Structure 1
Amino acid sequence: MSDDKTVVPFVRQPPAIKPERPCFGVYQGWVQNEKGARLKPGVYWHSYQRTKDDDGDAPGDDRDRPVRDDWIATPVLVEARTLNSDDGTEGRLLRLATHGGDKEWTMPMEMLGGSGEEIRRALFAMGAVIAPRQRPRFLEYLLDQQPGQTIATTSRPGWHASGVFVLPHRTIGGEGVRFQSSGRAPDLFRVRGELAQWQALVGARCVGNPVLTLAVGCALAGPLLNLVKVNGGGVHLVGDSSKGKSLAQLVGASVWGDPGPAGFGASWCMTKNGLEIEAASRNDTLLSLDEIKRANPKDIQEMAYSLANGCGKGTMNREREGRAKLSWTLLTLSSGERSLSEHAALSGDPAHAGAELRMVDVNAGTRTHGAFDDCHGLDGAGFHRLMTGAVGEHYGHLGPAFVEKLIAGNDRDGLLEAFAKVRAHFQSDSAQAGRVADRFAVVALAGEMAIAYGLLPWTVGNSLADSLLLYREWLERVGSGSAEDRQILASLARFIERHGDSRFSDVHAGETDNRVTNRAGYWEDEPNRRLFLFNTSGLQEAAHGFGLARIVTALDTAGAIAKRDIEKDRTRNTKKYRLPGGGSPKGLYVIDPERLEMAGADDNKHTGT
């Protein structure tokens, strides 16, 4: 007789279920139905096999009836009802169990109004599987669910009215709000690598490089703009190609996500509507736009205004009802070999001073090493390669960590006072320069806060000093006073330079000079100078885009009107001359071009070009 015993392995039976057929069921693991059949994870339609006497779903004695369990899809649970705080539309928060782990998606209910193809595409992209023959029933399943919980959603990243900061895959500062998207938009806020590695390989090497610290500060300033009441706008890195401008943009974009062109980075090569979408999708963060030469010169000024103003154009739907405008608050980090004014001039439309103030030029081409001041012991090419590789391996950490610290420390209440202290370092003598000073000051504040939080390996005062340096460089280039005045005076100086010999003639000549066509005026020689006497149409043409009164104001402020008539105790802006060929005296605007030269030189002096 043998003492050997056969060991039978223990097999754990899956949980038993007894659904109240007909009904839907969803299971995240294997289960066993009331007949002992094992069912794999997924969404099911539980019913009965059809017979000759019923339709398969009729109630009755089910002890001997064959059951039917139709597998519809991999596990998709309807967790909550959602209410979009942007427009009041409803949705459903879905949780998917996939091979890649659990994933969430806030599905707009309006997507159930059609065939459901958009829903299936979005779910397939996230790893769900839906049985081909069960697609209509899957939509029935979604409609059948009545979750008891209701949560808020928003279609915009950034600050929510509840005080939390919403990103596509996380909410900082609370759990009561979710991000809602169509499921088709790319994930801009991707994360890779480690914050500590970004700090060591990228952040530490920004020290000594004002253009790089500016890029990081611009990215971190996005969440502060609304809190310190500063308008959006941008900085434009100007310099020749291969000088390091694009690296600065990669560094800035890496604060929030993948800095590559398929991620957080973007290009000027898009329509105005496309730009609005890109800006809204990065609300309260950073918009990085590479290569201004790829933008349409006719649109560039309007695009600069739109980015700074934070609001898109209104549109209508098929029923001619107004759609909600896209909106955003952010700083733009732009780059190009041309300044905004130079690019706009390609279309024949001189840049408006307001557009130039909203996209401020920064020297990123003629520093010690192109865009860099300190390559940390490397040559320019080696520094560029090292930094480019580092931001490609470690990104998406610093921005969210900055917001976490901001919320956790309850620092929002004291931000206005902190901003005022930083802003006091940025002196400005006009309202226009003040707007630019605000921008550099909020960049400095963001950097100094990140240093205090231990997120940037820079010494205290580093961000403030670099922002002040770049701001003062800008002030030195543009000078003081009104930007519109400088633009008007520079336009007049260029007009005289181009047409001084062809559209003007000697006002004291005996006869009319018939060689002059499309006359803009005359000239008058005095010892050591020549004055240009503009007629009204010539003056308005020379400063195209400005009204006559505004042109005269700029000339008067600059002291460029050399002679005037005084009539009955009233000083006029013109002086009457008897013109060649006879006739009644005519009032002309007498301009001293020497008073225009400095303004013209400042206007044409663009950093790095």
Structure 2
Amino acid sequence: MSESQPHLTVVGEPTAPNLERLERPSFAVYEGPTSADGRIFRAGTWYHGIKHANNDDGGQPYDVWICAPLHVDAETVNSDDGSVGRLLRFRHRGRVIEHVMPMEALAGKGEEVLKALMRQGLEIEYNQRRHVPAYIASHHGLNRILATTTRPGWHDASGAFVLPHRIIGDADVRFQDSGKGAHLFTERGSLESWQTDVAHYCQGNPVLILSVCCALAGPVLSRVGVNGGGVHLVGDSSSGKSLAQSLAASVWGNPGIFAASWDMSKGGIEIEASSRNDTVLILDEIKRADPKRVQEMAYAIANGTGKGTMTREREGRPKLYWRVLALSSGERSLSEHAAISGNSAHAGAELRMVDVNAGTRTYRAFDDVHGMAGATFHRKLTTAASQHFGQIGPAFVERLVKETDPDHFHRRFTEIRDHFEAASPQAGRVADRFAVIGLAGELAIEYGLLPWPATSAARACRQLFLEWLASVGDGNAEDRQILTALGDFLALHGDSRFSDIAATLPNANVRQRAGYYEVENGKRLYLLNRASLTEAASGYGRERILRTLETYGALAKTDSGRRQKNYRLPGGGSARFFVVDPDRLDTEREATA
């Protein structure tokens, strides 16, 4: 018995066509009952074959129903890695299902294809399932070619905004995934109900306004050239931080599903960020993060690039990429949590995940509970966010894609950014983040999507930015960390590792000596040796530490232009030390001066 190469016959959409004769072997798709070769074929994908007992006979025709009507509509090209696939289409319970299948899934017996299609509801004749991959592979020279992407968000080649369940914008592009991931972008209720029951009560609450606008700012980042990063809501347990995050999550989907957690590896963070590209990454409870890795994870979120890996053939795998703002929460700041593991805080990590006070406001995280008790206000908004979600985010993007002036968003951003005063470049980067969050809110107000007065979003973001600026100062973050570390070191070891330089004999009680001190006008000046200087500000080189001390006038004495001063030692001999004025290390006093 042998079979020749099948041809493809597609009868699309007619109700009851009449085909006089079938070409065999061939595949055929019938949308309804179809008459051919003297019999009626029910709707579905068929294989019309022919069996040959020997080479001389004409063969015996046979027909096999493979599956429900399955159409191969186009060739796909993945914009992320260039891989080729097929766009498949079928119906399940009245819904049109589209599935992007990579061609590599046809390798072997095609079991991955069968799994993906059956998972989404395609009815397949089990005993004939081997024909399904062959049917798909029989489509060659497809005229329609469309782009696909494995990431949600802006599709740069087409200008469309891609979500797993819809494409916003006039472009022939599709989202490509395995179908196994969680459905993050879901909808319930209506935009009007969300505006009435959720957005209305955010008014008068800077933390809630910031959270909602942070969720809307993701699609705006690329339009104004601002990098990703995050804000970290800090407050005691049950202060309202999680509610603020739930309201932000309701912009794009079900808060219980869309929100993520710090309880994952760095690789997990990369996957979660990529799956929410150009939207918002919500991370609850920083105390669940690994203290040794939390700063590294903050860097990764802001930088938008995953870790490079290699295949067995020692070729680089495609990295994960994303552009996202993170809305984090916790009872501790990022630097406090990192310190649990003994790691010193990195200024860069703190700037990428800046603290927002969500615990000591009028009503803990809230400033206005709209005449309700705090607990009642919390329950009302929690319930509302769980019943109305996923509407405003896509509606906001629908308005963004209609803007044809490429400079419009830059102009609007500049107008708002001018009100976020920051002297240092580092504070300026944080100001950019708060400003783009405010911009997103103001645009949504103009579009009629947020029922708030004009400028209320920008004012709330500016208020929280100024609160952050007042708490840390407008100086260089690395300088601030170095001064703080030195001050803490002197406070901790002032009497145990230092002794009076004016003493006649060495102090035998000092172990692991860090230096000496001398008293001038009733104040101690600390004389640090070279080793203790770098030990005190661990993670920074000596030259960087000295540059900070000079900038803030903390080097009290020098010799002939040198940064060190020579002293006679108790018991004889001499040595050079860095003379530090501890009063100049008080960053909190400098910030409030």
Please give the range of the TM-score, normalised by the shorter of the 2 chains: over 0.9
1:4 matched residue in structure 2: none
Offset of 1:449 from its aligned partner?
0.5
TM-score normalised by length of structure 1: 0.91
Provide the C-alpha distance between the structure 2 equivalents of 1:175 and 1:535, rounded to a whole number of angstroms: 66
Give the counterpart of 2:38 among 23, 35, 48: 35
Offset of 1:90 from its aligned partner?
0.4
Provide the C-alpha distance between the structure 2 equivalents of 1:601 and 1:21, rounded to a whole number of angstroms: 87
2:585 matched residue in structure 1: 596
Structure 2 counterpart of 1:218, which letter?
C
Provide the C-alpha distance between the structure 1 equivalents of 2:258 and 2:88, rounded to a whole number of angstroms: 26
Structure 2 counterpart of 1:143, which letter?
A
TM-score normalised by length of structure 2: 0.94
2:4 matched residue in structure 1: none
Runs ≥4 residues deviating over 6 A: 600-603
Provide the C-alpha distance between the structure 2 equivalents of 1:191 and 1:68, rounded to a whole number of angstroms: 47
Provide the C-alpha distance between the structure 2 equivalents of 1:461 and 1:68, rounded to a whole number of angstroms: 72
1:236 matched residue in structure 2: 232
Deviation by residue 1:58-112 (Cα, 9 ceiling, x = unmatched)? 867xxxx6x5321111222111111112211101111121115111111111111
Pairs within 5 Å for 1:94-133:
94-133=88-127
2:10 matched residue in structure 1: none
1:379 matched residue in structure 2: 373
Structure 2 counterpart of 1:286, which letter?
V
Q: Which runs of 5+ in 2 are unaligned?
A: 1-13
Determine what percentage of the aligned residue pairs are the same residue: 56
State yes or no: 1:248 paired with 2:244: yes
Provide the C-alpha distance between the structure 2 equivalents of 1:95 and 1:574, rounded to a whole number of angstroms: 77
2:442 matched residue in structure 1: 448
1:69 matched residue in structure 2: 63
1:268 matched residue in structure 2: 262
Structure 2 counterpart of 1:31, which letter?
T
Structure 1 counterpart of 2:563, which letter?
N
Give the counterpart of 1:177 among 170, 173, 193: 173
2:562 matched residue in structure 1: 572
2:184 matched residue in structure 1: 188
Contact 2:480 2:587 in 1 (8 A): no
State yes or no: 1:208 paired with 2:210: no
Provide the C-alpha distance between the structure 2 equivalents of 1:377 and 1:42, rounded to a whole number of angstroms: 61
Q: 1:279 to 1:538 in 2, by over 3 A?
A: same
Contact 2:158 2:171 in 1 (8 A): no
State yes or no: 1:46 paired with 2:35: no
Provide the C-alpha distance between the structure 1 equivalents of 2:237 and 2:109, rounded to a whole number of angstroms: 50
Provide the C-alpha distance between the structure 2 equivalents of 1:558 and 1:112, rounded to a whole number of angstroms: 66
Q: 1:370 to 1:16 in 2, by over 3 A?
A: farther
2:575 matched residue in structure 1: 586
- Which is worse superposed, 450-459 or 510-519? 510-519
1:463 matched residue in structure 2: 457
1:224 matched residue in structure 2: 220
Provide the C-alpha distance between the structure 2 equivalents of 1:363 and 1:509, rounded to a whole number of angstroms: 48
Q: 1:427 to 1:528 in 2, by over 3 A?
A: same
1:332 matched residue in structure 2: 326
Q: 1:429 to 1:122 in 2, by over 3 A?
A: same
Q: 1:119 to 1:380 in 2, by over 3 A?
A: farther
2:29 matched residue in structure 1: 26
Provide the C-alpha distance between the structure 2 equivalents of 1:283 and 1:218, rounded to a whole number of angstroms: 13
Offset of 1:556 from its aligned partner?
1.5
Q: 1:43 to 1:601 in 2, by over 3 A?
A: farther
Offset of 1:594 from its aligned partner?
1.7
2:146 matched residue in structure 1: 151
1:315 matched residue in structure 2: 309
Offset of 1:397 from its aligned partner?
1.4
Q: Which runs of 5+ in 1 are unaligned?
A: 1-11, 604-609
Contact 2:31 2:44 in 1 (8 A): yes
Contact 2:147 2:174 in 1 (8 A): yes
- Which is worse superposed, 320-329 or 336-345? 320-329
Provide the C-alpha distance between the structure 1 equivalents of 2:508 and 2:544, rounded to a whole number of angstroms: 32
Q: 1:173 to 1:530 in 2, by over 3 A?
A: same
State yes or no: 1:354 paired with 2:334: no
Offset of 1:129 from its aligned partner?
2.2
Contact 2:483 2:587 in 1 (8 A): no
Offset of 1:578 from its aligned partner?
0.7
Deviation by residue 1:114-155 (Cα, 9 ceiling, x = unmatched)? 332222222122111222222221110110123321111111
Structure 2 counterpart of 1:501, which letter?
D
Q: 1:358 to 1:92 in 2, by over 3 A?
A: same
- Which is worse superposed, 96-105 or 483-492? 96-105
State yes or no: 1:289 paired with 2:283: yes
Offset of 1:306 from its aligned partner?
1.1
State yes or no: 1:519 paired with 2:508: no
Deviation by residue 1:440-462 (Cα, 9 ceiling, x = unmatched)? 00011110000000011011011
Q: 1:476 to 1:122 in 2, by over 3 A?
A: same
